[in-house]
Amino acid sequence: MDVYAFLPKIQPYVSVLLGSFAFFNVIHLVAVPLFANLFFPTQWAKMNSRARNNWAIHICSQAHALVILPLAWRCIGLPELDADRAFGWHERNGTVQAIACGYFIWDTLDAIVNYDNIGFVLHGLTCGAIYLLSFIPFLGYFAPRFLLWETSTLFLNIHWALDKTNRTGGSLQLINGVLLVVSFALVRLVAGGYWSYQFYETLFEYKDRIPLAALVVPGIGNVILQGLNWFWFTKMISSLRKRFSSKEKTRKQNGAAANGHGKHQKAD
* Per-residue confidence band for 263, with pLDDT thresholds at 50, 70 and 90: very low
Q: For 65, list phi and psi in degrees, rounded to 5.
A: -60, -45
Please indicate, yes or no, if residue 195 is contained in any of the structural domains.
Answer: yes
pLDDT given for residue 211 in this prediction: 82
pLDDT of residue 49: 93
Given a cut of 50, whether residue 257 has pLDDT beyond it is no
pLDDT tier for residue 187 given thresholds of 50, 70 and 90: very high
pLDDT of 250 higher than 60: no
> What pLDDT, on a 0 to 100 scale, did the predictor assign at position 230?
94
Instruction: Give the count of beta carbons closer than 10 Å to the beta carbon of residue 62.
Output: 19
> Residue 238 has what pLDDT?
85
The per-residue pLDDT for range 22-44, each reduced to its tens digit, is 999 999 999 999 999 999 999 99
Residue 151 contacts residue 183 (beta carbons within 8 Å): yes
Q: Are 110 and 28 in contact (CB under 8 A)?
A: yes
How do residues 131-146 score in pLDDT, each as one tens digit? 999 999 999 999 999 9
| pLDDT higher than 80, residue 255 | no
Note whether residue 209 is domain-resident: yes
Which pLDDT value is given to residue 25? 97
Domain presence at residue 230: yes
Confirm whether 36 is domain-assigned.
yes
CA distance 154 to 82: 27
Kindly list the distances between the CA atom of residue 27 and the CA atoms of 23, 32, 99, 124, 159, in Å, as whole numbers in the listed order. Answer: 6, 6, 15, 18, 20
**Tens digits of per-residue pLDDT, 191-218?**
999 999 999 999 999 988 888 888 898 9
Asked whether residue 51 carries a pLDDT value surpassing 50, the answer given is yes
Q: Which pLDDT does position 3 carry in this prediction?
A: 76
Angle subtended by helix axes 212-267 and 171-183, to nearest 10: 150
Helix/strand/coil for 115: coil
- What does the pLDDT average to over 86-102? 96
Query: What number is the average pLDDT over the span 231-239?
Result: 88
Phi, psi of 78 (to 5 degrees): -65, 125
- Per-residue confidence (pLDDT) for residue 86, from 0 to 100: 94
Mean of the per-residue pLDDT values of the chain = 89
Domain that holds residue 221: 3-256
Report how far Cα 151 is from the mean position of its chain's Cα atoms. Answer: 8
pTM of the model: 0.87
According to the model, what pLDDT value does residue 13 have?
97
DSSP three-state, residue 141: coil
In a domain, 163, yes or no: yes
Return the ∠ at Cα 98 (arms to 136 and 187), rounded to 5°.
Answer: 95
- Report yes or no: 101 and 131 within 8 Å, Cβ to Cβ: yes
Confidence at residue 76, expressed as pLDDT on a 0 to 100 scale:
95
Percentage with pLDDT > 70 across the chain: 90
Residue 258: predicted pLDDT: 45
* pLDDT top residue among 249 and 261: 249
In a domain, 268, yes or no: no
Does residue 262 form part of some domain? no
Number of domains the chain is built from: 1
pLDDT at 256: 46
pLDDT of residue 268: 38
Q: Is residue 94 part of a domain?
A: yes
- pLDDT greater than 70 at residue 262: no
